[in-house]
Amino acid sequence: MVETGERTSDAKIVVEHLDFHYGSVQALFDVCVEMAPRKVTAFIGPSGCGKSTFLRTLNRMNDIIPGTRVQGRVLIDGHDIYSNGTDVVALRRSVGMVFQKSNPFPKSIFENVVYGPRIHGEKNSARLREIAEQSLQRAGLWAEVKDRLDQNALSLSGGQQQRLCIARALAVGPEILLMDEPASALDPRSTARIEDLIGELREDYTIVIVTHNMQQAARVSDFTAFFYEGHLVEFGETQQIFTMPKKKQTEDYITGRFG
Amino acid sequence: MKQRSNGFLAIWAMRIIFYLLVSSVGIIVLDILWKGLPSISLSFLLDSPRRSGAEGGIFPAIVGTVYLVTGAIAAALPLGIASAVYLSEYAKQGLFTRWVRFAIITLAGVPSVVFGLFGLGLFVIFLKFGASVLAGSLTLACMILPTIIVASEEALQAVPRELREASLALGATRWQTIWRSVLPYSVSGIMTGSILGIGRAAGETAPILLTAAAFFLPNLPQSPFDQVMALPYHLYILATQHPEAAKVRGMQYGTALVLLVLVLGINMAAILLRGRFRKKYRW
């Protein structure tokens, strides 16, 4: 019953028959989907539909919640990240994440960006400065903060904090970027900046974004997946999903009949 | 209108209770100050006691208490923080950890004399430390451990989940996350627990009575295996056991005052330190 859209043989992420449980509550049912490299895939759906849960299975962030259970396979570059012996630390280095609520560390802007490189053993301070500048450039924040890298990150505005979190994620050198409603707490101008940024980053990164804002999904993504009550109802090119959805539920949702 | 007058009464009742409490503590402190200050002098602070404490000073007791408290903190703080980190960050939460927590909270309320007897049995007799600074410090450490563990665990859990997730999502191991993004932000909470512990360790008589304290010693302790004098025990002796109890009243109050100031001083230092941590790691 699940539409998987066109199958790309060189998919970056392949999810096969994924079930997910919080204790006795099942949150995801038999999700199968493929995500193409260097494309933006958006997950849409009403609150509680499982889209964030699904996003967090892709870097195993759900591992830290006690009592969760995963069945099925998640292949990244052909490797099942839930297989025994998977190095979760290495996984999270290559799969970066940006959260809904910007969560900079209560440290300086500089220390925030180099947190990842530091824990992975980079000690050379010239190299760390270089990484910080590159990452902040990439996140479109460098011009605004280059003279105050020593200031506490919490002194930045909400939109700047979120771009700092993006810079921090990029500093580790990921190939995939997961974004969990990255603009939902921001004003329209900051949101536009984040969306522009996603447009620039798609050239180098495989981006998966969860959003409850359908216009945003339509604007930024190449592919869209519609989730409802833990099921992946429909997946396809964004254009197709928004202009001629194949499923009645999808159509009802995007035309605002429910959710 | 009725609602408002009820609230009014309740606030006044609380206000009166508050003033009663503060003034009774104030009276005690003033009484100690009033009767203790006249006996405070440089020789009282820096001399050894003579004639069973009826003359001379209390220097060895001050030093002894400082040794005991420092030893207790040095032993209890690392152990307590490590236990709290394990309980809150690593242990699989379940029936077992619930029982462990329950046991720790219960231990925090156990009378100090029980810890004294435990220390006597374990450190003094079984481990053959004898009555000594070491045995006394470790006994005090056992006594304040529950307070430190409970406060530290609460402080660890108060660190927002977002900070842990941010760190883990960057590929930090669990330990790196704890060390860099959890512990620094819980230091001030941990210090609060320790401050409570320090106050208790400095003031308790029963645990050291059985494990460390001597009534009178001509010399300062030379090693951790020596006995020490201690302020609370000295005070206890002067107040209840001394043949000329009435004559040494001034010495009693002087000793009480010194103990009070010492505890206050240690707490102030800890509070200042905590303030600096708070400034450095505010969130």
Higher pLDDT, B216 or A22: A22
pTM summary value: 0.81
Closest CA to A141 of A121, A115, A112: A112
Closest CA to B225 of B212, B238, B214: B212
Nearest to A99 among B165, B171, B176 (CB): B165
Nearest residue in A to B160, CA atom: A103
Q: How many CB pairs under 8 A join A and B?
A: 66
* pLDDT > 50? residue B172: yes
The CA distance from A239 to A230, in Å, is 23
Q: Is residue B20 part of a domain?
A: no
- What ipTM does the predicted assembly reach? 0.88
Is residue A154 less than 8 Å (CB to CB) from chain B? yes
pLDDT averages per 10-residue partition of chain A, 259 residues: 48 93 93 93 91 94 89 92 91 93 91 94 92 93 92 91 94 94 88 92 94 90 94 93 90 77
Q: What are phi and psi of A237, to 5 degrees?
A: -65, 140
Between CA A220 and CA A10 the distance in angstroms is 22
Please give the Cα distance from B201 to B194 (Å, whole number): 10
Q: Which two tokens stand for residue B122?
A: 């374990």
Tokens 């001083």, residue? B265
Cβ of B46: how many Cβ atoms within 10 Å? 11
Residue B11 in domain: no
Taking CA A164 as the corner, what is the angle to CA A168 and CA A35, rounded to the nearest 5 degrees?
Answer: 60
Give the residue-averaged pLDDT of B122-143.
Answer: 92
Cβ-based neighbours of A197, under 8 Å, separated by 6 or more: A139, A140, A163, A166
Q: A151 CB near a chain B CB, below 8 Å?
A: no
| A89: closest chain B residue by CA | B171
For A46, half-sphere exposure in the C-beta direction (CA atoms, 13 angstrom radius) is 12
Domain boundaries, chain A: 13-99+174-254
Nearest-10 crossing angle of helices B133-157, B112-119:
130
- Summarize the confidence of residues B230-236 as an average pLDDT: 88
Query: How does residue B2 score in pLDDT terms, banded at 50, 70 and 90?
Result: low
Residue B250 lies in a domain: yes
What does the block give as tokens for A210? 């969860």
Q: Per the domain annotation, does B16 fall within a domain?
A: no
Q: How far apart are CA A162 and CA A35, in angstroms?
A: 24
- Report if residue B10 sits inside a domain: no
Determine the residue of chain B that is closest to A92 in CA distance: B171
**Cβ contact A119–B163 (<8 Å):** no
Percent of chain B, pLDDT > 90?
Answer: 46
- CATH top-level class of A13-99+174-254: alpha beta
In which residue are the tokens 């104030």 written? B26
Angle at B28 between CA B24 and CA B30, to 5 degrees: 110
Residue A1 has what pLDDT? Answer: 39
**B228: containing domain:** 40-280
Which residues of A, range 186-245, sit inside 8 Å of B by Cβ?
none
Partners of residue A120 in chain B, C-beta under 8 Å = 171
Does the residue B35 lie in any domain?
no
In this prediction, residue A184 carries a pLDDT of 86
Mean of the pLDDT values across residues B16-34?
94
B90 domain-assigned: yes
Cβ-nearest to A119 among B164, B176, B185 = B176
Q: What angle do CA B87, B89, B93 make, to 5 degrees?
A: 60
Indicate the pairing of strand A176-180 with strand A206-210: parallel
- Torsion angle defined by CA atoms of residues B1, B2, B8 and B13, in that order, rounded to the nearest 10 degrees: 170
CB pair distance less than 8 Å for A106 and B164: no
Domain count, chain B: 1
Answer positive or negative: Cα dihedral of B117, B123, B127, B133: negative
CATH assignment at residue B88: 1.10.3720.10
Q: Give me the residue from A90, A91, A106 closest to B281, CB to CB.
A: A106
Q: Write out pLDDT tens, residues A201-234.
A: 999 999 999 998 888 999 999 999 999 999 999 9
